[in-house]
Structure 1
Amino acid sequence: MNNFYLLHNHGHGAMSQSATGINLQMLLGISFILLFLAYTAAVLMTNKQYKKWPVYRLICWSLAMGTAFIAVVGPLANSAHTNFTAHMVSHLLLSMVAPVFMAIAAPMSLLLRTVNTSLARQMTALLKSRVAQLISHPITAAVLNVGGLWLLYTTDLYAFMHEHALFALFVHLHFFIAGYVFTISIIYFDPVYHQYTFWFRAVVLIVAIACHDILSKYMYANPPTGVSQQEAETGSMVMYYAGDWIEVGLIIIFCWQWFKSAKPRKHTAGEVNG
């Protein structure tokens, strides 16, 4: 059986092989490529039937998928195998930068205008369901996102991730999905069927940012299992300072939407936020 390297290894050797014999790092990379192609194809198809899809949204989707790809495939991902600072950069790209660009790209709006009417109605009903409301609730999304980081870095799960390929895959998928769900629970570009006030979302955002920053300071003094003190200090500073810049970008978008919503409306009632 051919050897292959996974998302993470412990030391300099390869991690255990999976039953499928597939390189899990490349599996994630291919997934992001397919998402990029699917979005692009949907834009080209629907542009023939409806109003032209905004170019800036296609650009944002391209940036999102490109950023996510860089985080899981290539030199950065390879360095993240054994370097905590590189791992932290990968985390920021995958769970913070890519989700912001994804949110602006409004993929759900594009999907709803791509599928047939019957399927669109079923998807809309699902988005209106209580389960979707629970998952997309700002507090739930914040707990899944930031809470997941606390669980990973303050327990033995970080070391466990380096020893078990499927769990490493799960962690990366969680970074990506939880980051996206939290982002769309704060800033609205797609249709939102369970909206929350700006004040409420602002409070959740501030608390989530505080918890993220506190975690970075905690790791500075208490390295995750298997991470040296020096690497923990460098990685924690990357998480704190680079994370702050990304959070500032999210705050700017949020405040822009809040300011726009407070202005007297001059457009049609059916206009979607963003």
Structure 2
Amino acid sequence: MPRNLRVIAPAVLLAVALATLFIGLSIGGGADERTLLDPGAVVRYGLPISRTIVNIACAGLIGAVVTAVWSLTPGKPEQRVALDFAAASGAVLTVASAATLLFAYVDVSGKAFSTDASFGAGLAQFVTEIELGRLWLIELLLAAATTVMCFAIRERRMQLIVLVAALSTTLPFAFQGHAAGASGHALAVNSLLVHLLGAAVWLGGLLTLLILARTVDKQRLSDLVRRYSPLALFAFVGVAASGVVSAWVRLGSLDALLNTGYGQLVLLKTFALILLGGFGAIQRERLIPRIAGPNGGRVFAWFAVAELAVMGFASGIAAALGRTAPPVSQEPVRDADTLLPPAEWLTGDKLPPEFTPLSYFTAWKFDLAWVLVCVFAAALYLAGVWRLRRRGDRWSIGRTLAWLAGLAMLFYTTNGAFNAYEQTLFSVHMLGHMMLTMLIPLVLVLGAPVTLALRATEKRDDGSWGGREWIMWMVQTPYSKIITHPAVAAVVFAGSLWIFYFTPVFRWAMTEHLGHQWMIIHFLISGYLFSLSMVGIDPVPYRFPYPLRLVTLFATMASHAFFGVTIMTGNGLMLADWFGAMGRTWGAPPLEDQNLGGGIAWGIGELPTLALALVVTVQWSRSDAREQKRRDRAADRSGEAELLEYNAMLAAQAERDARSARKR
């Protein structure tokens, strides 16, 4: 294995990326001199160069932390090397983000670099009042904080905080560039976020393996590559899917794919992606079994360096795409010179057509992130079932169907008519909300995914934590004991409705993309925990006895009904400057539509709770039946000794009572 591999691997990646960047800028014209406010060649080339370094450093940071959390053993040199590499990547990310911020300010303002007060004042205004400047400042602060964490935090569980911080460094990128503020904003932002996370885990994970190659022996390297391979496969699927969506949003037609510089760069990046898919297939099928053998380490090293070179090519093209004007304008709709309809001004998307019962089947507004969540969750579940079947264990077909049905409903709710109309009609929003918080979690809970994961996932014996170990830890943490307690789950489940709709959180969820995603995640989790505490099969620290479960269910049902009636009978329009300002001429008036939404929360929203009560009742009946069978079997084994002893006790008591009566 090459002695200077830790230097060769990053050098090859960076050199190929920068060389490809210059080619891409030439093809797309991203660094051409401007006729107005030209910032100069230093900025025209410096900005994409610094952005390329930012992308690579971010990948190194995320890939190293993911590898440390998922694959490595704490306390061993491998973990120290990986986290040191993560810290170094974070430091590079911090410096490169600062340079990019300066380049971006000069590029936007047209001012030359200087040390005078006016330059500093303009820069301060850029990072406080301009969205692009604020995003780069946030990126700089996140990178600096994560770098410090990588140096300071080495304990296994606390590394989850470092992982969250590292993953959050991709958020400012997702709201920049062609995605932010344009039509189809939600789709573009989520697609870009998926693309960034997938590329970071894929590229950064491979780079980390090469950094570790001289720290571990060949057998250990083989194990680490085997653990990296599934992550790379999921990342490849995410990058490919998000790349297709992002390209289509920006190209608009097949003609633009062939006849524009942007389209030609997309083709080059597609070629690199296909080539990388081939590398991954070879790695899984042929390379991993050979790593532990003679010369296996050297073969892996050169193979991975070649793969890194192709990744560098893709990274350079990606950076050039970021500086190339796409055929379809991504200018925020509010910045357009034309007069916009109210709905488009508020949401960024055109007002959907009139809502009819048929719209439930014909209206779609896809969200790539949730599409992939559903696909990956289904694939992992089915893989677990297949693994159990292969070793001769059984798994209920009913649980499998429940899980898949829940994911199908989640897919429809986040991509179908509910997503298409929830910003326009309060009633549709409320119906989707009831799906997310009540029906979908109930069906998913019946799939018992935690039980399946614990049975299907192999236990590790090298001190590292994989899926089984992390799940066991999460189930047993004090925090898990609190949030899964039936009383807490019920309060969160019922109280979230009131807090969400009668505080500014509702406005945040409706007007901000991040708030909308938070809303989906929060209500899914709160509903899931409540259903889990009532009827779940998966292990939790404590559950109420069955009678108390029914009492809890009817209490939450009453709170739900009161919430629905409050909205249904309200005389004031919630978010009047949103739902009341859409400018739609079809459908019920906003206040009437809001009252309909309250009726949905009261009437239709109670149906899943009644289903929960029915399931609790059935489980209670089965529990009593099982207890009776247990007692019968115990009686058979002991010859009904307990019953005979009990009868003898009664007879003795009767004899004593008789003697006492005779004495009187």
Give TM-score scaled by structure 1 length.
0.86
Higher relative contact order (CA 8 A, sep 6+): 1
Q: 2:604 matched to which residue of 1? A: 242
Kindly state the Cα deviation for residue 34 of structure 1 after the two structures are TM-superposed.
Answer: 1.4
Q: 1:105 aligns with which of 423, 431, 447?
A: 447
Distance 1:67 1:143 in 2: 25
Kindly state the Cα deviation for residue 14 of structure 1 after the two structures are TM-superposed.
Answer: 6.6
Q: 1:155 aligns with which of 494, 500, 503?
A: 503
* Uncovered stretches (5+) of structure 2, i.e. residues with no partner: 1-177, 188-341, 349-364, 461-465, 580-589, 631-664
| Range moving further from structure 2, 204-213 or 186-195 | 186-195
The answer to whether the 8 A contact 1:155-1:224 is kept is no
Residue identity in the other structure for 1:73: N
Distance 2:607 2:429 in 1: 18
Aligned: 1:71 with 2:71: no
1:131-179 residue CA offsets vs partner (Å, 9 max, x unmatched): 1110101121122222111111112322222211101110111111111
The answer to whether the 8 A contact 2:489-2:526 is kept is yes
Q: 1:83 matched to which residue of 2? A: 425
Q: 2:620 matched to which residue of 1? A: 258
Aligned pair count?
260
Q: Which has the higher helix share?
A: 2
Q: How is 1:170-209 mapped onto 2 (pairs within 5 angstroms)?
A: 170-209=518-557
Distance 1:12 1:214 in 2: 34
Aligned: 1:230 with 2:592: yes
Q: 2:185 matched to which residue of 1? A: 5
- Percent identical: 22
Q: 1:143 aligns with which of 491, 516, 520?
A: 491
Residue identity in the other structure for 2:494: V
The answer to whether the 8 A contact 2:366-2:414 is kept is no
* Uncovered stretches (5+) of structure 1, i.e. residues with no partner: 17-22, 268-274
Tell me the SS of whatever aligns to 1:59: helix
Residue identity in the other structure for 1:99: P
Q: 2:379 aligns with which of 24, 37, 62?
A: 37
Change beyond 3 A, Cα 1:151–1:11: farther
Residue identity in the other structure for 2:612: L
The answer to whether the 8 A contact 2:563-2:601 is kept is no
Distance 1:162 1:257 in 2: 39
Tell me the SS of whatever aligns to 1:192: coil
Structure label with greater radius of gyration = 2
The answer to whether the 8 A contact 1:61-1:102 is kept is yes
The answer to whether the 8 A contact 1:100-1:250 is kept is yes
Kindly state the Cα deviation for residue 52 of structure 1 after the two structures are TM-superposed.
Answer: 2.2
Distance 1:192 1:266 in 2: 25
Distance 1:6 1:142 in 2: 32
Alpha-carbon RMSD across the aligned residues, in angstroms, is 2.3
Give TM-score scaled by structure 2 length.
0.37
1:7-41 residue CA offsets vs partner (Å, 9 max, x unmatched): 8xx8334747xxxxxx9932123212211121112
